[in-house]
Amino acid sequence: MSVEHLAATEEANNSPSADIVLAARGLIKRFGRVTALAGTDFDLYPGEVLGVIGDNGAGKSSLVKVITGAYKPDDGELWMDGESVAFFNDPLDARARGIETVYQNLAVSPGLDVAANLFLGRERRRPGLVGSLFRLLDRKGMDRDARDEMSALGLVTIQDVNQTVETLSGGQRQGVAVARAAAFASKVIIMDEPTAALGVKESGRVLDLIREVRSRGVPIVLISHNMPHVFEVADRIHIQRLGRRVAVVTPATHSAHEAVAIMTGAAPPDPAYAG
């Protein structure tokens, strides 16, 4: 490795500034002989929607799994609010730090009602002996908060929080998952292909929800195959190719055509991110 190259790497690896919510440098993840992440970087700024695009096998989902704690990388560093942190042990660890994830496959329990799903795994108990000894749930309190959260997000058709989720449409179910993430995420919401299982109309509604959640100030990472969706709501777009971040563009400076060209290698990567 040349001296100049080392210097360039040093430059790129400088600790990110404190106003970056979540940052990663030089993430490496290998599966046997396959390298999923070949030293990728990542930055998420406050209050933005960051699109993450890339071809199949570019390392999008590995990147997200490292950030959500599902994978432990082989190498690399992670910062939250400018502070270096150890990688998360598991998704619960990431959740405890205020990172919530919305999954493509509608990770809700269809047989439970809307309120139960919103608070699933984080149930509140009544105060006093009935709560501590008899483990009695504060159902009224949770129902009320669930209703408030649904209204705040404009999910007006899901006002009955005691209906089971299986009676909802796919889009409404994803609405419940987004509401859950929005209610509990203090730092970051990660949405992994949130519209992939939905029709056009319902996808549009989920994009509205994304805007609504952004207006609350929590940054969102949106991983999607769907260029129109990404270009519609993202402030910046992280382009992943061959296990690295090759460019960060904005819908203002690049068209979807150009982004796809970078993503597929038809256009050269942004030299600033060449590493």
Partner 1 sequence: MTTIDPAAAAAADTIAQFEGPSGALDSTQRWLHGHPLASPTLVLLVAVAYFSLFTERFFTATNLSTILAQVTIIGTLAVAQTLVILTAGIDLSVGSIAVLASVVMGKLALVWGYAPVLALLIGIGIGTACGLLNGALVTRLRIPPFIATLGTFNALFALSQYFSENETLRNQDLQDQAPLLLWFDNTWEPVERFRVTYGALLMLVLFVIVWYMLRRTAWGRHVYATGDDREAARLVGIRTNRVLMSVYCGSGLICGIAGWLWISRIGAVSPKPLDDANLDSITAVVIGGTSLFGGRGNVFGSLLGALIVGVFDSGLSQAGVEPLWRTFAIGVLVIVAVAMDQWIRRVAA
Q: Which stretches of the chain bind partner 1, using CB under 8 A? A: 91-92, 95, 101, 103, 105-112, 116, 120-123, 125, 134-137, 139, 154-158, 164, 166-169, 171-172, 175, 180, 200-205, 207-208, 226-229, 231-232, 256-257, 260
- DSSP per residue over 49-104, as a string? EEEEEE-TTSSHHHHHHHHTTSS--SEEEEEETTEEEPPPSSHHHHHHTTEEEE-T
User: Of 50 and 115, which CB lies nearer to partner 1 in the complex structure?
Assistant: 115
CB of 158 to partner 1, least distance (A): 8
Check if the beta carbon of residue 190 is closer than 8 Å to that of residue 68. Answer: yes
- Please give the torsion angle defined by the CA atoms of residues 268, 239, 51 and 203, in that order, rounded to the nearest 10 degrees: 90
Token pair listed for 213: 């959640």
CB of 42 to partner 1, least distance (A): 22
User: Of 29 and 205, which CB lies nearer to partner 1 in the complex structure?
Assistant: 205
What stretch of H or E contains 248? Answer: strand 244-249
Assign 3-state DSSP to the chain and report helix, strand, coil percentages, each to 5: 35, 25, 40
CB of 49 to partner 1, least distance (A): 14
User: Of 36 and 209, which CB lies nearer to partner 1 in the complex structure?
Assistant: 209
User: Of 20 and 168, which CB lies nearer to partner 1 in the complex structure?
Assistant: 168
CB of 27 to partner 1, least distance (A): 22
User: Of 40 and 101, which CB lies nearer to partner 1 in the complex structure?
Assistant: 101
- Cα(127)–Cα(69) distance, rounded to whole angstroms? 32
User: Of 21 and 165, which CB lies nearer to partner 1 in the complex structure?
Assistant: 165
Sign of CA dihedral 61, 174, 125, 111: negative
* Residue type for position 68: T
